Structure 1
Amino acid sequence: MTVSRDSAARSGPEPVPDGRPPGAAGDPADVLAGLGSSWTWILTSALATLIPGIIVLAWPGGTLHVLAVVIGLYLLVTGAFRFVAAFSREGHGERLPRLLVAVLFVLAGVLCLRHPLQTVAALSLIVGVVWLLSGMLTAYAALAAKDLAHRGLVLGAAALGIVAGIVVLALPTQSAVVLTRLLGLWLVLLGLVELGVAFAWRSALRKARTGVLPGPAATV
């Protein structure tokens, strides 16, 4: 989960008050900041979580290999989104936990795609640990961020990730079908929360055009 800069000037394709496009200075960090805080980027990140959830729920009879590939790709893509979105915060203390979450997702995605680790127990352990740790880091970042917009929604999403991780780790799964349904359900729930954050941030950006600047936005 990531938090954007506290000004609509860092909202990607949205116009800024002085008319300068994001990243105009050519600084890669500024470009990443503008992209990561765009509501369309947040929306795409939400779809990257929601779509894999729908796929695994619609195909519960798929093999463990297919499930591992879908989950692995989800983790890699989500890690890339979170890496970019981490630069939408200026404070190093707020950016570091988001970068750690991004690295965690990428490493977990690589592990899921490794053939020797494609077992029900291994997938449950990897995904459960990722959701649990990312939820904890997200909650910490949300509490540490100053003037965070939609703080309650962000903390709720963090709590959802923590609960998802605990459930996946605590419930023994003896078959790929059971694991598929469990992971698919949580992916859909997390994706829907991210969609809510994306549209909430779009609303805040529209209010900014009327002269009321929003606080920092956050994405799951």
Structure 2
Amino acid sequence: MTVPRGPAPRTGPEHIPDGAAPGPVGDPAEVLAELGRSWKWMLGSAVATLVPGVLVLVWPEETLHVLAVLVGLYLLVTGAFRFVATFAREEHGERLPGLLLAVLCILAGVLCLRNPLQTIAALSLIVGIVWLVSGILTLYTAIAAKDLPHRGFVLGAAVIGIVAGIVVLALPTESARALTRLMGLWLVLLGLAEVAVAFAWRAALRRSRDAGPRGPAGTV
């Protein structure tokens, strides 16, 4: 997952409460930045992770073909969310890791959809690498961002991603059913962790807005 960093949302006619996206006027990069800082956008990213996990767990008898399609769609949607969230970074140098992760998710999603009849090992490798890299980058953000609110939620999400990647890569699955249950479980855990981060970000945005211009200089 991607955690936005930058100044706290400003109050005024050009900014909407809770970090929501502004109107269509203005620079497209600024519009994407406001959207990426929105807690609702982060919640949407969490739902995009949670829903495939629930579907996979509810229908464990589905074939590897269906699993590959679901995972491919999940990775494509996640890549799109991460791409927009990249613009929430204030410094251009901080955007590179998020952009690389977005590209990785999109490429992995294309690989899953391009050949949905691939082997269990190939699907596990693709998902495991994405989760591991995503978890490491999120962990770096949580440690490097000194003013990150609710750091514990972000650290928890990062650890879950790292463990999920390691488990999927290290534990070979002998059947599509075993792989389905494993991925479904981790998707649900990751989705719930991202939901917690989204609501924590909403609380930080509201505190920043209520504090006004004399409040804290920045959030994350």
Structure 2: runs of 5+ lacking an equivalent: 16-21
Q: Is the 8 A contact 1:149 1:214 kept in 2?
A: no
- Report the Cα distance in structure 1 between the residues aligned to 2:166 and 2:106, rounded to whole angstroms: 20
Partners of 1:118 and 1:55 lie apart in 2 by 20
Q: Are residues 1:216 and 2:210 paired?
A: no
Q: TM-score, normalised by structure 1?
A: 0.89
Aligned to 1:2, the other structure's residue is in SS state: coil
Distance 1:133 1:117, change over 3 A: farther
- RMSD of aligned Cα (Å): 1.9
Over the matched positions of the two proteins, sequence identity in percent amounts to 70
Shift in alpha-carbon separation, 1:179–1:23, aligned structure 2, 3 A = same
Match of 2:163 in 1: 163
Alignment partner, residue 12 of structure 1: none
Report if aligned partners of 2:6, 2:90 keep a CA contact under 8 Å in 1. Answer: no
Which amino acid in the other structure matches residue 148 of structure 1?
L
CA contact (8 A) 1:71 1:109 kept: yes
Distance 2:50 2:172 in 1: 24
CA distance in 2, matches of 1:87, 1:208: 20
Aligned to 1:49: 49
Q: Which runs of 5+ in 1 are unaligned?
A: 10-15
Determine helix, strand or coil for the equivalent of 1:26: coil
Kept in 2, the 8 Å contact 1:80–1:102? The answer is yes
Native 8 Å contact 2:64 2:117 kept in 1 = no
Q: TM-score if structure 2 supplies the norm length?
A: 0.89
Is 1:105–2:105 an aligned residue pair? yes
User: Number of paired residues?
Assistant: 211
For residue 75 of structure 1, give the secondary structure of its aligned residue in structure 2.
Answer: helix
The equivalent of 2:11 in structure 1 is: 17
Q: Per-residue displacement from partner, 1:135-185 (whole Å, max 9, x unpaired)? A: 112222333334222222212211111100000011110111000000000
Amino acid at match of 2:82: R
**The 10-residue stretch of structure 1 (128-137 or 53-62) with the greater mean CA deviation from structure 2:** 128-137
Go from structure 1 to structure 2 and tell me whether the alpha carbon gap of 1:31 and 1:215 turns closer, same or farther (over 3 Å shift).
Answer: same
2:124 counterpart of 1:124: yes
User: In 2, Cα distance between the equivalents of 1:127 and 1:149?
Assistant: 29
Partner of 2:67: 67
